[in-house]
Amino acid sequence: MKSILAIDDKRSNLITITALINDQMPDCKVLIAMSGKEGIEIAKKEQPDTILLDIIMPEMDGFETCKRLKEDALTKHIPVVLITAFKIDTESRIKGLNIGADAFLSKPIDSSELMAQVNVMLRIKEVEDKLRSEKVALEDIVKKRTIKISEQNRKLQREIIERKQTEEKIKNLSSRNQLILDTTMDGYVLTNLDGKIVDVNPAYCTMIGYSKEELLEMNITDLDAEIKPKEISLKTKQLLSQGYSRNESIQRCKNGKVLNLDMSIGVMHINETPMVFYFIRNITSQKYAEKIQRVLLNISNAAITKDNLIELICSIKDELGTVIDTTNFYIALYNDETDTLSLPFIEDEKDVVTSIPSGNTLTYYVIKTQSTLLATKEKLKELEDLGEVGKYGSDSEIWLGVPLKIKGKVFGVLVVQSYTDEFAYDESDVEILEFISEQISIAIKRKDDEQKLKEAFDKATESDRLKSVFLATMTHELRTPLNAVIGFSEIIKTEDLSIDEIKTFNKTINISGNHLLNIVEDIFEITLIETGELKLAKESVSLQKLLNEVHEFIKIEQQNTEKEHIDLRLKIPPELKKISIETDPLKFKQILINLLKNALKFTPKGSVEYGIIKDHISKEALLKFYVKDTGIGIPKNKREIIFEIFRQVEESHSRTYGGTGIGLSIAKKLTELLGGKIWIDPNFTKGSTFYFTIPYKDKGEDDDGEIRSTKRMGKLKNKTILIVEDNKTSSNYLNFILTKSGAITICAENGEIAVASVEKNAAIEVVLMDLYMPVMDGYEATKRIKSIRPDLPVIAQTAFAVEGDRENALEAGCDDYITKPIKKELLLELIKKYV
Ligand code: ADP
């Protein structure tokens, strides 16, 4: 229902208005107020659709009331119709319009005008209300929208802030990642799926030696020795399915060096493109250390497992070869006692040598300085200029030698060198070699000692064996002739025999005795040589005479050994027949006789030829003698050892040929003592040929050598010879030989009697003086005899084994000497020299 508020201070007016409205608009409610104040109260409260307001009212007139109504938000929308006092009250109307009045009515109020005005106002009010409510609705919508928008706005703001924060975080994170990549020690490489490098970090550049720009032009397969270009797609596929892999690989640096790398490889998406990343750690030194550890271990194992030094060094070379270039490799061992170097092992592209002179070689330099030498060409030149080293062997581009030491003492050098690459070795190789050299030294020293020990053991075993062989041989060699001597002398003594039988048996006894004597002499001789007590008595002798004497002797030997069927020949080139040589004649003859005896012994049939080889003669040079036979020969593998004492080709108990194995070793030692050499022709296949040399000084011809000796050869008939000898048997033996030769003998038992005899008997022409006698010895007696008759020749009888006899005898004044046991031929020959 509509309502109209009428405000008028006059009740009558109010009644009129109420009646009019009730009449015209029965559905409309009329509210009344008697003052402006009351009217405002009611208007606020009841919200009438139109207000009819009288202008003239006490206290608050209609203008004031209208003004307040229009100023109040609760009432300003209510249309106000001002009721003026008279019709044309323009002033009031203007005033009323200014303060917001909507229409005017004038008094007396015309009902139709009132109704018309009221209706208009109601319609306006209705429209206004609608408008207002629409506006409110609109405002509400706007408000709601605004709220929503501002909410959305706030959300957006939040999102923007969050996004900004995230972006900031991401920015921070990626710069942190970049920082990590830039500063990490590990290498980082990013490639596409084809292996093309798209990013690397500084650590990788340092590691591999290429710049970032160079690397960005490369493919990972250009660097990685383990990945072949055609395998990259397969590898990437595997990686894509696994997502991650870790493996060790090998890459080659720009400078050619090979690196061992530990790689973590994975796939990541950058802008939705899959990429392969590599995190790379350089484990070269770790690998190196592992390798070196392995080398050390293997070398120490080899020291135990390898059989000999060569095998050990071979395996050291192979092991070292896993860490450095050992194409040219050798080990030299140093003997500080002899100051010499031996080369047990060498493998070299150019030089094949077996020894190194210890002079001014690089190897010797390392030993001298006791420190490692890395000799580049410049260093070598420097050392050469200083005179520290000289040229030896082929020139190498670089030479590296490390001393091998045990307890600080250098005993060898390990050397590697390159003929092609001057950069083959550097300081790091020096470090490695020095590090490993200790282990190598221990291994080599150990094996060397072991080998020496083994050699000593073998030698001891061998000498033990030889001792047994020697004892067996000796027993046999001594017993056989002794049996003959004892057996046959027994028969002669007891049996009734014919003269011929006695002569035959006697010959056997004599041969056996001589044989025994030879053995005894050989043993004495070798003992003297071995103990260094043998002295040489050199003199100038005619070569022809020496050889003739040997020939005479060996012919007798040939008869005694029943080898007369062997054709024995002595060949002396005519131009040498008259020369004389400076040597010890006895020793010289002994060498030749030993060889000839063997030649006869080991030649069942055929010939034995000996002599001098002409073309080897020169001034201050050597005379070369030979003894050639057509006998059983000597196997090649025995041609060296038979010169060792007691060694024989046949060492079994069932030997075909007798012998003690001493003869050749005496011959060898005597030859060396005389300044020569002895050997067997290594190529001889039929029989054997021995050679020996002795120094020869051209002293001119000795043409009367032979004549002189023949001149001296006089008869002993009626020559008086004094035999001074305390041993009855020996005295009888000498007496028998000399009287048989026609000489007159006088015997004295000691030196005193001898001196007295000389004083008494002027007929004495030669004295045969024993040296060891009771009362007065031979030395003293000789001195005294010489003081009485200085020209009387005195020949001393010396004992073979007694060192110094000969020298002492000569010193005491003896003119010559003869060694006991005295042989008939030699004695007669000697005495004839002096009568
Ligand atoms: P022996 O002859 O007393 O055994 P040697 O030292 O003189 O001792 O010789 C050593 C060994 O050398 C002999 O046993 C023999 O086996 C061998 N031999 C030496 N000379 C000859 C030779 N002319 N022909 C064959 N073998 C020989």
pLDDT digits (tens, 9 = 90+) for 750-766: 999 999 999 999 999 99
Distance 614 CA to ligand 1 centre (A): 26
- The residues, any chain, with a CB within 8 Å of residue 646's CB and separated by 6 or more, are 466, 469, 470, 473, 660, 661, 662, 665
| Token pair of 666 as six digits | 């005496």
Ligand 1, from 470, 521, 602, 681: best to mutate by most atoms within 8 Å of Cβ?
A: 602
One DSSP character per residue, 783-795 reads HHHHHH-TTS-EE
599 within ligand 1 shell (Cβ under 6 A): yes
| C-alpha Rg value of the chain to the nearest Å | 71
> pTM for this one?
0.48
Distance 661 CA to ligand 1 centre (A): 7
* Nearest atom of ligand 1 to the alpha carbon of 659: 3
Alpha carbon 383 to its chain centroid, in Å, reads: 25
d(CA 65, CA 528): 171
632 within ligand 1 shell (Cβ under 6 A): yes
| Token pair of 573 as six digits | 């080139």
Q: So what's the pLDDT on residue 704?
A: 42
Distance 485 CA to ligand 1 centre (A): 25
The three-state (H, E, C) secondary structure of 526-548, written as one string: HHHHHCCCCCCCCEEEEHHHHHH
* Nearest atom of ligand 1 to the alpha carbon of 629: 23
Distance 561 CA to ligand 1 centre (A): 16
Distance 384 CA to ligand 1 centre (A): 53
Q: What is the mean pLDDT for each group of 10 consecutive residues in the chain (835 residues)? A: 92 89 89 94 94 91 93 91 79 87 86 85 83 84 89 90 81 82 92 92 95 95 82 84 88 89 91 90 90 90 89 93 92 87 87 73 91 92 87 84 93 94 90 90 89 89 82 82 89 86 88 85 85 82 90 89 93 85 90 95 94 66 90 90 86 71 93 93 87 78 42 66 89 88 91 93 92 88 93 84 70 87 84 85
Q: So what's the pLDDT on residue 705?
A: 40
590 within ligand 1 shell (Cβ under 6 A): no
d(CA 584, CA 788): 32
How many angstroms separate the Cα of 429 from the Cα of each of 288, 325, 598? 11, 9, 61
401: left (phi over 0), alpha (psi -120 to 50) or beta: beta
CA atoms within 13 A on the CB side of 647: 16
d(CA 810, CA 219): 100
One DSSP character per residue, 333-379 reads EEETTTTEEEEEEEE-SS---SEE-SSS-HHHHHHHHTS-EEEEHHH
798: left (phi over 0), alpha (psi -120 to 50) or beta: beta
Q: So what's the pLDDT on residue 109?
A: 82
Eight-state DSSP code of residue 84: E
For ligand 1, atom 21, which residue shows the shortest CA distance?
Answer: 598
Q: So what's the pLDDT on residue 618?
A: 55
In terms of Cβ atoms closer than 10 Å to its own Cβ (0-12, 13-18, 19+), residue 572 is middle
Torsion angle, alpha carbons of 270, 271, 272, 278, to 10: -10
* Nearest atom of ligand 1 to the alpha carbon of 522: 3
pLDDT digits (tens, 9 = 90+) for 519-578: 888 888 888 888 887 878 888 888 888 999 899 889 988 988 889 999 999 998 888 888
Distance 659 CA to ligand 1 centre (A): 8
Distance 534 CA to ligand 1 centre (A): 23
CA atoms within 13 A on the CB side of 715: 5
One DSSP character per residue, 710-730 reads HHH----TT-EEEEE-S-HHH
Question: Are the CB atoms for 755 and 724 separated by under 8 Å?
Answer: no
pLDDT digits (tens, 9 = 90+) for 46-63: 999 999 999 989 989 999
* Nearest atom of ligand 1 to the alpha carbon of 627: 23
d(CA 420, CA 423): 9
Look up residue 763 and give its amino acid. Answer: A
- The residues, any chain, with a CB within 8 Å of residue 90's CB and separated by 6 or more, are none
CA atoms within 13 A on the CB side of 428: 11
Torsion angle, alpha carbons of 41, 42, 45, 46, to 10: -160
| Beta-ladder partners of 690 | 627, 680
Eight-state DSSP code of residue 185: S
Exposed e or buried b for every residue in 389-412, given b needs 16+ CB within 10 A? beebeeebebbbbbbbbeeeebbb
* Nearest atom of ligand 1 to the alpha carbon of 603: 24
3-state secondary structure of 140: helix
Distance 634 CA to ligand 1 centre (A): 8
Distance 642 CA to ligand 1 centre (A): 7
Question: Are the CB atoms for 646 and 522 separated by under 8 Å?
Answer: no
637: left (phi over 0), alpha (psi -120 to 50) or beta: alpha
Eight-state DSSP code of residue 434: H
d(CA 316, CA 313): 5
C-alpha angle 28-29-30 in degrees, rounded to nearest 5: 120
| Beta-ladder partners of 820 | 799
d(CA 380, CA 388): 9
In terms of Cβ atoms closer than 10 Å to its own Cβ (0-12, 13-18, 19+), residue 740 is exposed
Q: What are phi and psi of 372, to 5 degrees?
A: -65, 145
For ligand 1, atom 14, which residue shows the shortest CA distance?
Answer: 648
- The residues, any chain, with a CB within 8 Å of residue 480's CB and separated by 6 or more, are 512, 658
Q: So what's the pLDDT on residue 655?
A: 64
* Nearest atom of ligand 1 to the alpha carbon of 665: 6
d(CA 92, CA 86): 10
- Start-to-end Cα distance in the chain: 202
Q: What are phi and psi of 752, to 5 degrees?
A: -60, -50
Q: What is the largest CA-CA distance in the chain?
A: 228
The residue behind tokens 């073309």 is 615
Distance 800 CA to ligand 1 centre (A): 24
Q: Where do runs of H (alpha helix) occur along 531-657? A: 543-560, 585-601
One DSSP character per residue, 207-263 reads HH---HHHHTTSBHHHHBTT--GGGHHHHHHHHHHHSEEEEEEEEE-TTS-EEEEEE
Look up residue 610 and give its amino acid. Answer: Y
417 within ligand 1 shell (Cβ under 6 A): no
Eight-state DSSP code of residue 561: T
For ligand 1, atom 19, which residue shows the shortest CA distance?
Answer: 598
| Token pair of 654 as six digits | 């069932």
Q: So what's the pLDDT on residue 124?
A: 83
Closest-CA residue to 514 (of 543, 481, 488): 481
